[in-house]
Amino acid sequence: MVRYVAYILVAVIAVLLAGSVAVVVGKGAVACLAGRPVVYVTAFDGVGSVGGHPPRIRAMFEGPTGPRPLDSFWAVVRFQGGWTRWGYINARGLCRPRGPADLAPGPHRFQVGLPEVHPRLDVVARATAWIWPRDRRVLWVDASALVPSGLGPAAGGDVCLPPASARAGIASLQTLADGARCVYLVADDARGYAAARRRLKVWVAPAGPVFWVIPGRADGRLEGLKGVWPRVCGAVVASDDLADAAGRLEVPVGRLPTPGEAGSAPALARAWRRTLNRLTSP
């Protein structure tokens, strides 16, 4: 009798073990078929002055479930030359460690990704840290005055063909040469920022940092930017929020319509020239 009971217990345990293995294997198969969740990473340009504080590096991690869609809460920032630093990803998905100190004047490329303990080649973003002398004369340029809204990501065959409204502004900015360096302001979410920066690059706008103005925090962000390069000769803006924030910092403001609101390209070109002449003339 005892022997038969033992046989029954062994059979029950075997069935339970088989069921557990099936559940584990089934979950693994579902995960493999579903694939990894898509993660969007945006690295923002950093700014710094020669001999000043190290540039603040910012990156945003987003996914279908919202911010910080990964099991790992740590990212790694890597500069050319081997400099690396860990950065904590907070609950909003934002990572913001400090960059290297004593960077030479000029642009310095860096990338933000995951550490080797959680490798994912698709979770990598690149940006530039711009280091200029503190007394560098700069002009703030609202990117929305150049890049029409609703264009989407910079991809496709027409990406290198800026609209006439953008060509008018870019041609006017190129006349500044070294008299005042452009700092582009993007007051948008992370993916909107990445699309605007890509457009400015492929449309060959004058080189300069693309500075992320966190929506709703224009005052603080522009105050920090002015603290890095205080010689701001003016701000060319289309946004009311940026105009108000720049005005409170006593920066001369020139208003321009957005490309969607603009009239003919020649009229917009004349508006750009008048505004830049007023802001940049000694």
The predicted-structure confidence for 143-189, as pLDDT tens digits, reads as follows: 999 987 666 554 444 456 788 878 888 988 988 866 899 999 999 99
Q: Which of 35-49, 130-144, 216-230 has the weakest average pLDDT?
A: 35-49
Two structure tokens written together for 20: 């557990």
pLDDT in tens, 107-145: 999 999 988 766 676 789 999 999 999 999 999 999 999
pLDDT of residue 125: 95
Asked if residue 71 is part of any domain, the answer here is: yes
Q: Are 125 and 142 contained in the same domain?
A: no
Q: Are 116 and 220 contained in the same domain?
A: no
Q: What is the CATH number of the domain that holds 44?
A: 2.60.40.10
Nearest to 109 by CA among 51, 48, 201, 45: 45
Q: Are 174 and 122 contained in the same domain?
A: no
The CA dihedral of 87, 94, 152, 79, to the nearest 10 degrees, is -20
pLDDT of residue 1: 55
- The total number of structural domains that make up the chain: 2
Q: Are 218 and 143 contained in the same domain?
A: yes
Asked if residue 241 is part of any domain, the answer here is: yes
Q: Which of 90, 114, 132 represents a domain boundary (last residue)?
A: 132
243 or 165: whose pLDDT is higher?
243
pLDDT for 264 beyond 90: no
> Quick one: what percent of the chain has pLDDT higher than 90?
54
Which pLDDT band holds residue 94 (cuts at 50, 70, 90)? very high
Note the pTM of the prediction, 2 decimals.
0.83
Nearest to 150 by CA among 48, 259, 257, 254: 259
Q: Are 261 and 142 contained in the same domain?
A: yes
User: DSSP assignment, residue 89?
Assistant: B
Asked if 166 and 147 touch (Cβ cutoff 8 Å), the reply is: yes
Asked if residue 21 is part of any domain, the answer here is: no
Q: Are 151 and 274 contained in the same domain?
A: yes
Task: Give the span between the Cα atoms of 258 and 130, in whole angstroms.
Answer: 27
Q: Are 76 and 142 contained in the same domain?
A: no
Q: What is the CATH number of the domain that holds 273?
A: 3.40.50
pLDDT of residue 128: 97
pLDDT of residue 179: 84
Asked if 134 and 52 touch (Cβ cutoff 8 Å), the reply is: yes
Q: Which of 132, 156, 188 represents a domain boundary (last residue)?
A: 132
Q: Are 143 and 274 contained in the same domain?
A: yes
Q: Are 146 and 269 contained in the same domain?
A: yes
The dihedral through the CA atoms of 274, 275, 280, 282 has a sign that is positive
Q: Which of 82, 100, 132 represents a domain boundary (last residue)?
A: 132
Asked if residue 15 is part of any domain, the answer here is: no
Asked if residue 203 is part of any domain, the answer here is: yes
Residue 229 sits in which domain range?
Answer: 138-280
pLDDT of residue 33: 32
pLDDT of residue 25: 38
Task: Give the span between the Cα atoms of 187 and 220, in whole angstroms.
Answer: 13
Q: Which of 1-10, 97-106, 119-128, 254-263 has the weakest average pLDDT?
A: 1-10
Task: Give the span between the Cα atoms of 167 and 269, in whole angstroms.
Answer: 8
Residue position matching structure tokens 């108000």: 244
pLDDT for 222 beyond 50: yes
Asked if residue 35 is part of any domain, the answer here is: no
Two structure tokens written together for 217: 């925090």
Asked if residue 2 is part of any domain, the answer here is: no
Q: Are 162 and 258 contained in the same domain?
A: yes
pLDDT in tens, 46-91: 999 999 889 999 999 998 776 777 777 899 999 988 899 999 999 8
Q: Are 146 and 275 contained in the same domain?
A: yes
Task: Give the span between the Cα atoms of 123 and 150, in whole angstroms.
Answer: 25
Q: Are 212 and 268 contained in the same domain?
A: yes
